[in-house]
Structure 1
């Protein structure tokens, strides 16, 4: 008789849904979130790896050419955004450079392992 009362209370608390179905739905949702999170982490790691190997991309203003034609089409001028190189530093490379600078600043600290 005690189990019937507990079942009635549990059923009333879940608003008439099956507790096993609710638990199964929660497990499926958690698994889906974990899968999406894993895919995002792999994509970010791959992007940072490509930024490590290829740190530069094409300049967005001049499309990698490094120069513009004059309005009349006879002369060229250098792109002001990339200074005529046609390259820009990718966003991921900025992140890698920042992480290296922070790590280097921590290792060069005089309050830890240094001369005493």
Structure 2
């Protein structure tokens, strides 16, 4: 058997590789939350308001308050950690 086939057929992954991938994923998500802290509101799809069934009147979205954006969970955690460290 060639060395490439023997490596490709080995399905066992080391726990160290999984830990490195989790750390890289978490670091990437934190960087994403620092650069882009807001996400589009899932209820109004970022529009901030809804139209009536007839299309003439509209109302603000209850979930985002008409802004069309919500703060990401990771950004909330980042801000909490930053403020906790600052208050010491």
Length-normalised TM-score, structure 2: 0.81
Of Structure 1 and Structure 2, the greater helix share is in 1
Max Rg structure: 1
1:59-116 deviation line (CA, Å, top 9, x unaligned): 011010101011332211111111111000001101101111110111xxxxxxxxxx
Aligned partner (choices 65, 72, 75) of residue 83 of structure 1: 65
d(CA) in 2 for partners of 1:77, 1:71: 12
Runs of 4+ in structure 1 over 3 Å off: none
**Partner residue, 1:61:** 43
- Equivalent-residue separation in structure 1 for 2:49 and 2:87 (angstroms): 38
Residues 33-77 of structure 1, C-alpha deviations (whole Å, 9 max, x = no match):
110011000100110001001000000110101010113322111
SS at match of 2:56: coil
Normalised TM-score (structure 1): 0.63
**Runs (5+) with no aligned partner, structure 2:** 1-11
Give the aligned CA root-mean-square deviation in angstroms. 1.3
Q: 5+ residue gaps in structure 1?
A: 1-28, 107-116
Alignment partner, residue 7 of structure 1: none
Give the corresponding residue for 2:16: 34
RCO greater where, 1 or 2, for CA within 8 Å and sep 6 or more?
2
Q: How many residues align?
A: 77
The residue that corresponds to 1:22 in the other structure is none
Say which is worse superposed, 79-88 or 69-78, in terms of deviation. 69-78
